[in-house]
Structure 1
């Protein structure tokens, strides 16, 4: 099992690890700062032993780092890794912005998340909404930006799965349930929101910047899509 350093040290940029598996240009380490693609969130990239990491994915309980070519290091060796920090921090900002928006839509109109894609250039979130009033959504975005100015802290912790599932506000997904883990990781925006989530987030809302609504789309009878960017 790869130790998830990105949970313990989300603001670290460099690390050292031991190569546990090597298959061509795919590397498994004993621990990593690289966040893998999943749950609609894009992955970290960077370098490992001086070679570019172009993709990071989960493979059962391991995290697979795909390099541009077969590396010079081998199994059992110690290697240095470094994240593309600008990308990582932007994804963290985007992800926390998504939580803030989903919290507001859940509170105001009982909308749950039906899909999402957190990326660097722009992000999107889908909600199960009967009506889609642009003025109303713009108001929700304005409310989110006002909350950002209050700069609430964001923290993470674990909760027993059985206890977490008794609290419906922790699961804002319309159709999916959190992973079948004994403990669920909770992301809390103090005084605003709590959600079961395995992703990476900023420590304070002020890091997000300003949320900009890009466009809205109807994606079905009750499925509405919201695209946003950050300034």
Structure 2
């Protein structure tokens, strides 16, 4: 079982973890700050024991990390887990922006069902079922979203 420390503290950027399992270049930890791909949001970039994380798979109560190379550490060892804070902060901002766009889109169209999403450090995308093109709405959505962001409303976190 991997304790997901980022659920309790979205701004935590490092921790010390006990290695639960090592198999080649895959690793399971007792706790982590590295978010694994879920709900369309990209995996955090970071390191475990100084080795880059290449991939992460969230299996529910356990996260399996694939490292860029086989680690020198073994089960039972303690390692430092560190995220790339610049990457995390960019994803955090785009994730929040996607929620803002979604609010104005849903308000304008009445469509509340999302059928897909993707948020990474380069973009945020939401997919909605629509029989008509939404291109004519994009300018208005951008204006409303930017106005809202400039108003500097506080951001609340819901779990």
- TM-score using structure 2 length: 0.91
Question: How many Å separate the matches in 1 of 2:8 and 2:107?
Answer: 30
The residue number in structure 2 matching 1:46 is 46
- In the TM superposition, 1:52-201 aligns within 5 A as 52-111=52-111, 112-157=113-158, 185=159
What's the CA shift for 1:143?
0.3
Q: Which piece of structure 1 moves more, 27-36 or 112-121?
A: 112-121
Q: Distance in 2 between matches of 1:10 and 1:73?
A: 27
Query: How many residue pairs get matched?
Result: 158
Stretches of structure 2 that go unaligned for 5 or more consecutive residues are none
The question of whether the paired residues in 2 share the 8 Å contact of 1:56 and 1:65 is answered with yes
After superposing on structure 2, the runs of 4+ consecutive aligned residues of structure 1 that deviate more than 4 Å are none
Q: Which runs of 5+ in 1 are unaligned?
A: 158-184, 186-231
Q: CA deviation at 1:155?
A: 2.3
- CA apart distance, 1:142: 0.9
**Bigger RCO (CA 8 Å, 6+ sep):** 2
Counterpart Cα distance in 2 of 1:63 and 1:52: 16
Q: CA RMSD in A?
A: 1.5
State the alpha-carbon separation in 1 of the partners of residues 76 and 156 from structure 2: 35
How far apart are residue 17 of structure 1 and its match?
0.8
Structure in which a larger fraction of residues adopt strand: 1
Q: Which moved more, 1:36-45 or 1:123-132?
A: 123-132
Q: For residues 25 and 131 of structure 1, what CA distance do their matches in structure 2 show?
A: 47
Do the aligned partners of 1:102 and 1:113 also contact (CA within 8 Å) in 2?
Answer: no
1:33 aligns to what? 33
